[in-house]
Homo-oligomer: A and B are copies of this chain.
């Protein structure tokens, strides 16, 4: 079961990322190890290192590919709706693949789709009359908020339906209110309203 000994085609980066994407799609990205991934590809763990920098390199590629599949909002959407759509898709990706959250706390994400999202928001906002600087500020704020929500949601998922500590049930219920769909929309709406009204338009 070694492709080295059987003279099979050499390993490629695409092959590695495809295998990782299959894990993402089957919901097993969380427990993915390099050793298991290498096994699936009939290769030694160390063979991967010729094609990827490290494990996060793989995970970041997967994350950006998932964001790519989610796509960008229609560019003729009104700016607020465009921003909301971006937030919703990021939240969805992280919600479906919680291990992606840690990536955002480990290294700045600057892959293709991350940049395309910023660019898209910038264009829509500039067209709506904001300066480039304001557009970036607004997008950054929305992205920041969304990431915070993802962090809280990831934490709540990880806790599962928790055995609430006695005398802690109400506190827990209170904090649970932080990660409802309604609260996500509320904070997002407040932020976008505050940002778009506060900035000077051209």
Residues from chain B with a CB closer than 8 A to the CB of A171 are: 110, 115
Q: A36 at interface (Cβ–Cβ under 8 A)?
A: no
Q: Mark A143-165, 1 if CB is under 8 A from B, else 0.
A: 11111111110111011000000
Number of copies: 2
Q: In the bound complex, do residue B118 and residue A174 qualify as a contact, i.e. CB atoms below 8 Å apart? A: yes
Q: A175 at interface (Cβ–Cβ under 8 A)?
A: yes
Residues from chain B with a CB closer than 8 A to the CB of A194 are: 189-195, 197
Residues from chain B with a CB closer than 8 A to the CB of A174 are: 118, 136
Known contacts A190-B191, A195-B190; is A172 also within 8 Å of B141 by CB? no
Known: A107-B158, A190-B195, A193-B194. 19 other contacts (CB 8 A): A102-B102, A106-B155, A108-B172, A108-B176, A115-B171, A137-B183, A137-B186, A140-B187, A141-B183, A141-B191, A143-B148, A144-B178, A147-B147, A147-B148, A147-B151, A147-B152, A148-B149, A190-B194, A194-B197
